Amino acid sequence: MDDLNAAWTSWTATLTAAGFDPAPELRPPADPAELAQAQSRTGIRFPADLLALYALADGQGRSPRAPQVFPQYRFLPVADAAVVWGGWDDLLRAEGPDGMADHAEHITVRPGDPVRKEYWLPGWWPLAEDGGGNVLVVDTDPAEGGTTGQIVVAGPDEDQRRVLAPGVTAYLRLLAATDLEVEDVGDGVVWWDAPALR
């Protein structure tokens, strides 16, 4: 998809210009067979722009000193995302509807955001993870008025469900257009953030 490719190019160029070149940690394109297997296992039909993103890079490596592709979140390879999804699926099965309803009691939704007030849904694909279990998900089961493929924040430390963008391409465009916050965290490590987009 040309739009996704252009948005990705713009975003990675923005990161590189700010001194955070993601290229050394990006993995080669995802294996189509692995993508098909992930969709079959989860029952999630990946939106076209998510597939296009994986055709450019199958996530990034694990180096803790490497710049993240998303603000405070590591872009997960398909295999890692499938493991994360599986962990949440195990929780859904173990807790059952009543247990998940108990978890959801603490969940809020940012006013005006078309996302379900749920702790976790099987239709959420983990695009990126912050290292503490919180994830940016591609939401394929949106609330009324939402967009299939919208980017949503979820996780054990994230009680507010919020929509960051209507899709992967739109999210990359928003990132490329934002002013990055850059911080020297010591030990020669400089980090970036975009708090409004995580």
Question: pLDDT tens for residues 100-130?
Answer: 788 888 899 999 999 999 999 999 999 999 9
What pLDDT does residue 49 have?
Answer: 97
Residue 186 CA to residue 182 CA, distance in Å, equals 12
Percent of the chain with pLDDT over 70: 99
Residue 131 CA to residue 49 CA, distance in Å, equals 24
Q: Which residue has better confidence, 95 or 192?
A: 192
What pLDDT does residue 102 have?
Answer: 82
pLDDT digits (tens, 9 = 90+) for 45-55: 999 999 999 99
State if pTM tops 0.75. yes
What pLDDT does residue 187 have?
Answer: 79
Query: What does the pLDDT average to over 151-178?
Result: 97
| H/E element, 152 | strand 150-154
Query: What does the pLDDT average to over 24-47?
Result: 97
Q: What is the CATH number of the domain that holds 193?
A: 3.40.1580.10
Residue 58 pLDDT level (bands cut at 50, 70, 90): very high
Query: What does the pLDDT average to over 138-153?
Result: 98
Give the structural domain span for 122: 2-197
Across all residues in the chain, what is the average pLDDT? 94
Number of domains comprising the chain: 1
Distances (CA, A) of 56 to 4, 72, 153: 10, 21, 23
Query: What does the pLDDT average to over 20-34?
Result: 97
